Amino acid sequence: MPAFPEAAKDAVGDEVLRANLRHATHTIRDKRARAVAELADWELLRAAGKAVKDQTLRHLDRYLLQLEESVTAAGGVVHWAADAEEANRIVTGLVRATGEREVVKVKSMATQEIGLNEALEAAGIAAYETDLAELIVQLGRDRPSHILVPAIHRNRAEIRDIFEAEMGSWGRAAPAGLGDDPRELAEAARLHLREKFLRAKVAVSGANFMVAETGTMVVFESEGNGRMCLTLPDTLISVVGIEKVVPTFRDLEIFLQTLPRSSTAERMNPYTTMWTGTTDGDGPSAFHLVLLDNGRTDTLADEVGRQALRCIRCSACLNVCPVYERAGGHAYGSVYPGPIGAILSPQLRGTGSEIDASLPYASTLCGACYEVCPVAIDIPEVLVHLRERVVQGGPVTREGIRVRIRPARGHAAERAAMRAARHLLDHPCALRAGERLLARARRLRPRRLPGPGRAWTDSRELPELPAEPFRDWWARERGGRGSLGDTEGRGDRGDTGDRGDVGDRGDRRDRGGRT
Amino acid sequence: MRAALFVTCVNDALYPRTGIAVVRLLERLGVEVDFPAGQSCCGQPQYNTGYRHEAEPLVRRTAAAFDGYPYVVTPSGSCAAMIREHYPRIGRKAAAEGRGAELAEAAASLAPRVYELTEFLVDVLGVTDVGAYFPHTVTYHPSCHGLRGLGLGDRPRRLLAAVGGLELVELPGAEECCGFGGTFAVKNPAVSAAMGADKIASATATGAAVLCGADNSCLAHLDGILRRRGAPLRALHLAEILAATEEEAPL
Ligand code: SF4
C-alpha cells in the first residue's frame, strides 16, 4: 500500500469517483445536520455518549468479564482472540465443526479488519456478504471505501453492470434486462440473497453494542438482511471488538438516538436486532461470541489516542471530511477510512508502515470531524499526537509492552528544516536579516520552486514578496513606540518589570536602544 | 486603550499590508498599538506537523514577548487558536515531561489575553461599524480555525456588512476547508489543490470581485490558485477592507 498522498492523487484525478463521492457525502451530511438539529438536547446526548464510553473503557477488564459471564449464563460461548490470526483460527474452527462449507455474513467491520473472508476461503469455506453495499463490493471483487456505505464510490450504472456480470457465478443470476433504477437493483439483490438466507446453516456477524449486564448483542441496520442472518441459521458466530461493550441495557438509550441520526440521518434505524445467548425453538441453537483485541488494549494504554475507542462507527466524520471527499476511502489503506481511520489504523497497526505513518497527515485539521462526532472524539488532537509519534518517536505500548519507538524514516530533511526555521524564528535579529534579504530578492522570485516547494508551485503561484517586512515598516513609521529595533526581545532578557504598566515599560525598553 | 499587535510571521514577512491595516484601523478606533519586536512565530507549523519539542522555544518566546499586555490582537484565527487552544496543552505536556512548570504557567497566562482581530473589535471595543468604505462586492471565507477553533461566528460578516459601499454575498459551502492546512498544502498537494480549486469555483460563482478571509495563510493558498488560473477575483484580508476609508486611496 503506497503512502496516502500517492493513493489520494489517483482518486483526485478520477472524475467519476469524485462526482460519486461528492454527491453521496453532501447529500448525507445535509440530511444529518437536519436530523441532529431536531433534537434540542443533542449536545447533552453527545456528552452522555462520551461519558458512558469513557467510563466503560476505564474499567474495560471488569465489563468484559461481566459480559462473558452474562453471555455464558444465557447459553452462549465466549472466545477471546488477541489478534487477527487467533480470531480467524477460532472462527474457521467453529465453522468446520458444524460441517458446513458456506456462511452468510452481515456487515461486520471487525471481520474485515482481520481478513476473515480470505481466511475462510483458504479453509475451503465460502463467505457470502448480505449487506447490500457489501454485496456490491464482494461481487465487484472490490474493497469497501466507507464505513456505512462500503460501495459509496460506485454509482447506479456501475452497480447494475456488476450485478449483471457477477451474480450468476455466486448464486442466483440477475434478472434479464436489469436496469439501474434503485428499486430494480434492490429487488435483484433481494432475490439473490433470499436464496442464500434460506439455505445457510451458519452466520457470521458483528455487533454495534454488547451489553455487559445482560449479555445482549445489538445490531442497528436499515435493510433487515442482518436480521435474516441473525435469526435463520442454526449457528451464529459474532466477532466483535472489545471496545463495543456498554455496561447496562439502559445505556443503549443514548446511542439509539445518536447513532441513527449521525449515520443515516434517520430518527430511528428501521431494524434494531438484539440477541441474548440462545433460546429453545427460536433463532440459532448455538451462539459463539469472539471478542477481538487486535491492538485495542495497546490503544487503550495511550492517554490521548484511546479516545478513538469511543467510536460508534457512525461515519459522520467521513461524510463531512473534505479530504475523504476528494481522496476516497481506498487511499486510507484500511477498512477504517476517513478521519476515524486516520487515527484508528495507525494505533491498531502501529506507525511502522508507509501508509500508517502517512495517515496522521491525511487531514488539514479543519475540525469538521470533531464537530459532528456523536461521542466527541477530538480527532484533530489525536492526529497531532500521532504526528508527533511519527516524527519524534516516543513511548508506545505494543502487545502489552511499553516500548520506545524511533521516529519513522524519511523525515530527516523535514526535521532539519523545522529546526532551522525554529532557530531563525527564535532569533529576531537573524529573522529580520532574512526577511530583508527576501525583500531584496523579490524580483528574482521563481515561478517554480525546487524540492518540496514544488508541491506548492505545481498548482499555485507564490505570494508576491513585499518591499519591506512589517517590522521594518513599524520601525520606520512608529519607531518611537513599541519597537525593539534590533534587540533580541524581552523574552531573552528575563525582564521583570511592573506588570500593570505595559506602556511605560514598552517605551522605556524601546527608547533604551534608540535615544 | 492599549493593545499589543501579534502580527504573525506570515504577515510580517509576506503580508505586511495586513499588519499595517490593523495598526491604522485600531488607531483610528482610538487604540494605542504596541508592537513588541521580540515576537516572531507562534510555533504552529512545528506543532501541527508533530514537532512539539521544536515549538516549545517559540511558545516561550511568544509568551515572553507579550508578558504583561492585557490585550494581544492578531489578524489570524489560526495563530489565535494555536495560542488559546494549544499553548496550555504544550505547557502541560512539557511540565509532565519534566521540563519545568514555567512554560505551562506562561502559556496558561497568555492564552486568555489573545484576541483574533474581529473578536477584539466586536467583543472588546464593542463596534461593528468601524467607519470603513469599500465599494466592491465581497464574499467571505471563514477559515476553519476561526470558525471552529475560536467560534468567531458571524462577527466577521457583521463587520463586513457594516462597511460603506460594500456588498456582501454569501459564499456557498463557506464552512468547508479551503485545503491549505499548513504543511498539508505540500504534504498532500493533490488533495489540497483540489479543495482550493473547489473553493475558488464557489467564490467565483458568487460574482464577487473580492474573496475576503481573516487568515493570510489560507489566502496565500487561494490567491496562489487564483493567480495561476488568471481568475477574475482577488483575495484580500479582512483587515485591509476594514482599514479602507473614503478619504484614503481605495484599495
Ligand atoms: S469517529 Fe465519531 S463521527 Fe467518526 S465514525 Fe466514529 S463515532 Fe462517528
Q: Is A317 in the pocket of ligand 1 (CB under 6 A)?
A: yes
Q: What is the pLDDT of residue A250?
A: 97
What does the pLDDT look like over B89-148, one tens digit per residue?
999 999 999 988 999 999 999 999 999 999 999 999 999 999 999 999 999 999 999 999
- Among A62-66, A449-453, A498-502, which is the least confidently predicted range? A498-502
Query: With the C-alpha atoms ordered A428, A429, A430, A432, is the resulting torsion angle positive or negative?
Result: positive
Reported as half-sphere exposure (CB side, CA atoms, 13 A), residue A164 has a value of 12
What does the pLDDT look like over B13-38, one tens digit per residue?
999 999 999 999 999 999 999 999 89
Q: Please check the confidence at residue A495 and state whether its pLDDT lies above 90.
A: no
Identify residue A214 by its one-letter amino acid code: T
Q: What is the pLDDT of residue A481?
A: 54
B45 vs A contacts (CB less than 8 Å) = 418, 421
Under 8 Å between Cβ of A185 and A163: yes
Ligand 1 centroid vs A338 CA: distance in angstroms?
Answer: 10
Under 8 Å between Cβ of A372 and A317: yes
d(CA B8, CA A129): 54
Best substitution site from A263, A340, A382 to test ligand 1's pocket, by max atoms within 8 Å of Cβ?
A: A340
Exposure string for A310-320, b = 16+ CB within 10 A, e = fewer: bbbbbbbbbbb
Q: Please check the confidence at residue A27 and state whether its pLDDT lies above 60.
A: yes
Ligand 1 centroid vs A320 CA: distance in angstroms?
Answer: 11
What does the pLDDT look like over A229-246, one tens digit per residue?
999 999 999 999 999 999
In 3D space, the residue among A310, A219, A223, A315 whose CA is nearest the CA of residue A265 turns out to be A315
What does the pLDDT look like over A98-113, one tens digit per residue?
999 999 999 789 999 9
Q: How many CB pairs under 8 A join A and B?
A: 241
Q: What is the pLDDT of residue B61?
A: 95
Mean pLDDT along residues A90-103: 97
Ligand 1 centroid vs A481 CA: distance in angstroms?
Answer: 51
Q: What is the pLDDT of residue A452?
A: 73
Q: Does A448 touch chain B (CB under 8 A)?
A: no
Name the residue among B50, B182, B194 with its Cβ closest to that of A326.
Answer: B194
Q: Please check the confidence at residue A348 and state whether its pLDDT lies above 50.
A: yes
What does the pLDDT look like over A455-490, one tens digit per residue?
888 889 888 889 899 999 999 998 765 444 334 443
Q: Are A392 and B67 within 8 A, CB to CB?
A: no
Q: Is A386 in the pocket of ligand 1 (CB under 6 A)?
A: no
- Point out the ligand 1 atom lying closest to the alpha carbon of residue A263: 8
Q: What is the pLDDT of residue A451?
A: 72
In 3D space, the residue among A294, A363, A293 whose CA is nearest the CA of residue A332 turns out to be A363
Nearest CA to ligand 1 atom 6: A311
Q: What is the pLDDT of residue A459?
A: 86
Count of residues for chain A? 515
Mean pLDDT along residues B233-242: 96
In 3D space, the residue among B91, B212, B193, B86 whose CA is nearest the CA of residue B140 turns out to be B212
Q: What is the pLDDT of residue A415?
A: 84
Identify residue A416 by its one-letter amino acid code: A
Q: What is the pLDDT of residue A425?
A: 82
Q: Which residues, including other chains, have CB under 8 Å from residue B96's CB and lie 6 or more apart?
A: none
Query: With the C-alpha atoms ordered B43, B49, B50, B54, is the resulting torsion angle positive or negative?
Result: negative
Q: Residue B225's Cα: distance from chain center in Å?
A: 19
Nearest CA to ligand 1 atom 3: A373
d(CA A262, CA A29): 9
Ligand 1 centroid vs A339 CA: distance in angstroms?
Answer: 8
Mean pLDDT along residues A88-93: 98
ipTM reported for the complex, 2 dp:
0.96
d(CA B172, CA B86): 30
Q: Are A392 and B51 within 8 A, CB to CB?
A: yes
Q: Please check the confidence at residue A430 and state whether its pLDDT lies above 90.
A: no
Per-residue pLDDT band for B249 (boundaries 50, 70, 90) equals low
d(CA A352, CA A420): 27
CA angle, A277 then A281 then A285, to 5°: 45
Ligand 1 centroid vs A28 CA: distance in angstroms?
Answer: 14
Nearest CA to ligand 1 atom 8: A314
Q: Please check the confidence at residue A376 and state whether its pLDDT lies above 50.
A: yes
Cell 436480521 belongs to residue: A227
Name the residue among B45, B179, B220 with its Cβ closest to that of A322.
Answer: B179
Q: Does A279 touch chain B (CB under 8 A)?
A: no
d(CA B58, CA A134): 50
What does the pLDDT look like over A306-329, one tens digit per residue?
999 999 999 999 999 999 999 999
Residue A181's SS3 state is: coil
A490 vs B contacts (CB less than 8 Å) = 36, 38, 64-65, 67
pTM: 0.92
Residues 237-276 of A with CB under 8 A from B: none
Per-residue pLDDT band for B236 (boundaries 50, 70, 90) equals very high
Q: Is A17 in the pocket of ligand 1 (CB under 6 A)?
A: no
d(CA B43, CA B58): 5
Q: What is the pLDDT of residue A506?
A: 36
d(CA A174, CA A344): 38
Exposure string for A425-442, b = 16+ CB within 10 A, e = fewer: bbbbeebbeebeeebeee
Q: What is the pLDDT of residue A513?
A: 32
Q: Are B38 and A366 within 8 A, CB to CB?
A: no
Q: Which residues, including other chains, have CB under 8 Å from residue A444's CB and lie 6 or more apart?
A: none
Q: What is the pLDDT of residue A502?
A: 37
